[in-house]
C-alpha cells in the first residue's frame, strides 16, 4: 500500500504570492490533518478534514485554508504569503472509524518564502 504522498516536496515562492499544497492519503483513509513545522514554533496543528468536512482548525489566520475532495485527497492553500510562512508542511491520514489509531505522516512539503 502506498504511503501518504505530499506534493511538491520543495517550493520557493515570493512574498505576496499564493501557494497550494497537495496531500494524497493512504487508500481507504478518510481523515486528513495538516501541520506546520517551523524552527521557532515547532509543530502546530493547522486543520483536519473528514469526508470533505473541516472538523477542526488551529489558530492560524484566514490566509490558511484547505479542502478535501470526494476521493479524500486534500489541498491546503496559503494566500498573500509572508516570510514567516516558510516552514515544513506535513499532512497525515488515519483509517476510518479508528479515532485511536496512529497517524500516518507524509514526508512534507518544504516551503520557502523569499
Q: Please, what is the minimum distance in Å from the beta carbon of residue 104 to another protein?
A: 7
Contacts with another protein by CB under 8 A lie at: 31, 33, 35, 37, 42-45, 48, 50, 55-56, 58, 88, 90, 92, 94, 99-108, 110
Q: Please, what is the minimum distance in Å from the beta carbon of residue 21 to another protein?
A: 14
Nearer to another protein, 92 or 113 (CB): 92
**HSE, side-chain direction, 13 A CA sphere, residue 62:** 0
Q: Please, what is the minimum distance in Å from the beta carbon of residue 112 to another protein?
A: 13
C-alpha cell at 61: 489566520
Nearer to another protein, 11 or 88 (CB): 88
**Three-state helix/strand/coil letters over 30-47:** CEEEEEEEECCCEEEEEE
Tell me whether residue 23 is exposed, middle or buried, using C-beta atoms within 10 angstroms of its C-beta: 0 to 12, 13 to 18, 19 or more.
buried
Amino acid at each position: 500500500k502506498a504511503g501518504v504522498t505530499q506534493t511538491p516536496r520543495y517550493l520557493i515562492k515570493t512574498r505576496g504570492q499564493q501557494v497550494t499544497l497537495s496531500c494524497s492519503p493512504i487508500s481507504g483513509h478518510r481523515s486528513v490533518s495538516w501541520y506546520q513545522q517551523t524552527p521557532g514554533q515547532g509543530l502546530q496543528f493547522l486543520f483536519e478534514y473528514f469526508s470533505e468536512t473541516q472538523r477542526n482548525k488551529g489558530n492560524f489566520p484566514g490566509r490558511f485554508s484547505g479542502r478535501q475532495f470526494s476521493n479524500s485527497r486534500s489541498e491546503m492553500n496559503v494566500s498573500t504569503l509572508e516570510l514567516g510562512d516558510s516552514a515544513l508542511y506535513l499532512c497525515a491520514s488515519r483509517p476510518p472509524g479508528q479515532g485511536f489509531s496512529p497517524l500516518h505522516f507524509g514526508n512534507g512539503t518544504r516551503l520557502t518564502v523569499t
